[in-house]
Structure 1
Amino acid sequence: MQNNNDDYGDKGLAALEKKIGRSTGHPVDANKMRGTNEKITDKLRGMFEKATGKKVPAKFSN
């Protein structure tokens, strides 16, 4: 179950993991991956902000 504090990036990554898991037959538990997913989306947000010099909108990052 996803937390209400998850931003769109976290929710999108969790949905992608579920879809890939179903198609490959290796389901992914989103709750177990939450910490890792948060690190991934934080890193991607940082890379975007560094490359563009613009902040990511609040609804896409927490």
Structure 2
Amino acid sequence: MDFIKKAAEGMKGNQSGSTQQSNPGDQDYVDKAFDFAAKKSGHNMDRSTEEKITDAGRNAYEKLTGNKVDPKISN
């Protein structure tokens, strides 16, 4: 039983770390736009999932065009 309790406490610790990343102050314009569109369409995603999606989009854009995304718009 102690093993299960320790595993559950470890999972709780990981969850609190992910909520710490959801600070809206560290979002760039692309992240904010994606968050707005996702909420308007009725989709609820956590911040880390949204970040992965927007990062993949940035990487695809840079790979396709060969140009970097302007740092004023996206980090």
Q: Percent identity?
A: 44
Show structure 1 runs of 4+ deviating over 3 A. none
Q: From the CA coordinates, give the structure whose radius of gyration is larger.
A: 2
Give the Cα separation in 1 of the matches to 2:35 and 2:57: 15
Q: Name which structure has the greater RCO, CA cutoff 8 Å, separation 6+.
A: 1
1:35 has 2:48 as partner:
yes
Q: Give 1:50 deviation, angstroms.
A: 0.5
Q: CA-to-partner distance for each residue in 1:5-51, whole Å, 9 max, x for gaps?
A: 10111101110111111xxxxx63xxx51100100000000000001
> TM-score, normalised on structure 1?
0.74
1:7 to 25, 28, 42: 28
Q: RMSD of the alignment, in Å?
A: 1.9
Unaligned runs of 5+ in 1: 22-26
Unaligned runs of 5+ in 2: 1-21
Give the Cα separation in 1 of the matches to 2:72 and 2:48: 19
